[in-house]
């Protein structure tokens, strides 16, 4: 028979004897990495397991396993006693109380944006005296209202001499001058200075005091400031007192 043509009975495991050998539990013989009766699937799996056992473990894995006992010694698991737990709770309660106190203080403090927000209408005022003895006032205005422009700001003022006495104009005899600033003045305009010509004539004038402020907005609403209330319309660092000047 042509050796290239083999019947079913001539194939390994194809005959009854081959099937019996396939079902037998006889030990396998490994030769040069080749399995006898390689058609048996179970034998292939067992061969793979046998080869895996002969494969050396990677060095990195072996090193990690060698350090495992040291890791356990470095981080021991210790149980805390009841007294230790209570002391820990007391410390945490103190820390929480301190945090709550700090939060309360921060909440009561004005924010940086609120502190920097300007709420006044007059930021500065003073006067100059010309060669004829005319007292020419100037005032710096601003609009703290972001929603509505200002139409007019009417200011009433008086002047005082060096010893703190109110003085009148030598021409006309007026003690109080009425000064009007005409807008529109918006919040975006920032500070705007207004200057007037002589409101009084008195070369002895040394101080000007604001006595009343009336603000008229473009929507028709008004705001009036006088007496002690006038301080709310002035910049915080602005003095509105005219006392005797030290020599």
Distance CA 136, CA 181 (A): 14
For the cut 80, the answer to whether the pLDDT of residue 27 exceeds it is no
> Looking at residue 30, what is its pLDDT?
44
236 or 245, which is more confident: 236
Token readout for 23 is 């079902």
pLDDT tier for residue 8 given thresholds of 50, 70 and 90: very low
Q: What percent of the chain has pLDDT over 90?
A: 46
pLDDT band for 112, please (50, 70, 90 cuts). very low
* pLDDT > 60? residue 192: yes
Across 41-47, average pLDDT: 63
Distance in angstroms (rounded) separating the CA atoms of residues 93 and 112: 31
CB burial readout 20-41, b (16+ within 10 A) else e: eeeeeeeeeeeeeeebeeeebe
Q: Is the dihedral of CA 197, 202, 204, 207 positive or negative?
A: negative
- Residue 213 has phi, psi (to 5 degrees) of -135, 130
Task: Please give the pLDDT value at position 5.
Answer: 47
* Number of CB atoms found within 10 A of residue 12's CB: 14
Residue 55 has pLDDT above 60, yes or no: no
- CA-to-CA separations, 15 to 9, 18, 20, 21, in angstroms, rounded: 4, 5, 9, 10
| Per-residue pLDDT at 205 exceeds 70 | yes
Residue 69 confidence (pLDDT) above 60: no
CA 33 vs. chain centroid, Å, equals 70
186 pLDDT band (50/70/90 cuts)? very high
Q: What is the average pLDDT across 113-134?
A: 82
- Judge whether residue 233 has pLDDT over 70: yes
Residue 33, pLDDT > 50, answer no
pTM value is 0.53
The strand ranges marked E within 79-221 are 122-129, 134-141, 150-160, 166-167, 176-185, 192-195, 200-201, 207-217
What is the chain's mean pLDDT, rounded?
77
Residue range 167-177: mean pLDDT, rounded: 94
Rounded to a whole number of angstroms, the distance between the first and last alpha carbons of the chain is: 144
Residue 18 has pLDDT above 80, yes or no: no
pLDDT above 60 (res 93): yes
CATH number for domain 122-233, candidates 1.20.1740, 3.30.70, 3.40.50, 2.60.40:
2.60.40
Paired strand residues for 56: none
The set of long-range contacts for 34-42, using a CB threshold of 8 Å and a minimum separation of 24, is: 37/12, 37/13, 39/12, 39/13, 40/13
């Amino acid at each position: 028979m042509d050796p290239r043509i083999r019947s079913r009975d001539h194939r390994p495991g194809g005959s009854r004897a081959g099937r019996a050998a396939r079902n037998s539990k006889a030990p396998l013989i490994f030769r040069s990495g080749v399995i006898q009766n390689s058609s048996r699937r179970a034998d292939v799996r067992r061969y793979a397991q046998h080869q895996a056992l002969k494969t050396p473990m990677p060095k990195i894995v072996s090193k990690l396993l060698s350090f495992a006992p040291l890791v356990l010694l470095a981080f021991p698991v210790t149980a805390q006693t009841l007294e230790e737990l209570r002391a820990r709770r007391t410390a945490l309660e103190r820390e929480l109380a301190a945090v709550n106190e700090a939060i309360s203080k921060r909440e009561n403090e004005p924010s940086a944006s609120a502190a920097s927000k300007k709420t006044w209408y007059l930021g500065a005022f003073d006067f100059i005296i010309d060669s004829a003895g005319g007292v020419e006032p100037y005032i710096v205005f601003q609009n703290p209202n972001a929603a509505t422009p200002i139409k007019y700001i009417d200011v009433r003022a008086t002047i005082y001499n060096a010893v703190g006495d109110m003085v009148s104009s030598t021409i006309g005899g007026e003690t109080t001058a009425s000064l009007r600033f005409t807008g529109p003045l918006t919040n975006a305009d920032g500070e705007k200075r207004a200057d007037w010509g002589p409101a009084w004539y008195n070369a002895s004038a040394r101080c000007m005091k604001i006595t009343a402020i009336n603000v008229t907005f473009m929507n028709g609403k008004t705001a009036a400031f006088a007496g002690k209330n006038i301080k709310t319309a002035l910049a915080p660092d602005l003095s509105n007192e005219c006392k005797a000047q030290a020599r």
